[in-house]
Amino acid sequence: MIGETMIGRGDNAYDYYTKIAPSFLEDISELHKVEPYVYCQMIAGKEAFKPGEAKNSWLSGTASWNFYAITQYILGVRPEYDGLRVDPCIPKNWDGFKMQRKFRGATYQLEIKNPEHVSKGVKEIIVNGEKLNSMIIPLLEKGKNHKVEIIMG
């Protein structure tokens, strides 16, 4: 997923996500024989004794890696030393999304708009009404809410 976002293919990145996310696999949860909301370390292949059966649920780092890939690369909000980098890579059919991110004591209310239906590319970032000339939102005042508008294109 991360690799696909790095080369700008948001549709592929999201497709990979849907193929492993438990919420998208509800219709085959009986085959997996584990809770339908849990990531597993692996799923047995066609040649296995019990094909399709999931193994090592709850013991996997898969959930944390997926959270990392989704929030920091598909949604594209990543912490850096000087602030938050905003570089979403989403499916082209998304109109955008909203998210809240707490970072170093401040709360960022982010609204990403995708009027041109692109997968990647930031045209404009507006923080508390002021346009930025950077892809990195600087550290903002702790204890406050900050409105951030991102226009893709």
Are 13 and 37 members of one domain?
A: yes
Q: Helix (H, G, I), strand (E, B), or coil: what is residue 65?
A: helix
With a CB cutoff of 8 Å and minimum separation 6, the contacts of 131 are: 124, 125
> Given 53, 74, 95, which residue is the final one in a domain?
74
Domain range for 117: 76-153
Are 37 and 83 members of one domain?
A: no
pTM of the model: 0.84
pLDDT, one tens digit per residue, over 70-96 is 999 999 999 999 999 999 999 999 999
Structure tokens at 8: 């700008």
Which residues pair with residue 130 across a beta bridge? 127
Through-space distance between the first and last CA atoms of the chain, rounded to whole angstroms: 21
Q: Rounded to whole angstroms, how far apart are CA atoms 117 and 151?
A: 11
Are 83 and 131 members of one domain?
A: yes
Are 49 and 120 members of one domain?
A: no
Are 80 and 94 members of one domain?
A: yes
> Cβ–Cβ contacts within 10 Å for residue 95, how many?
10
pLDDT, one tens digit per residue, over 126-144 is 999 999 999 999 999 999 9
Q: Which residue has the higher pLDDT, 61 or 65?
A: 65
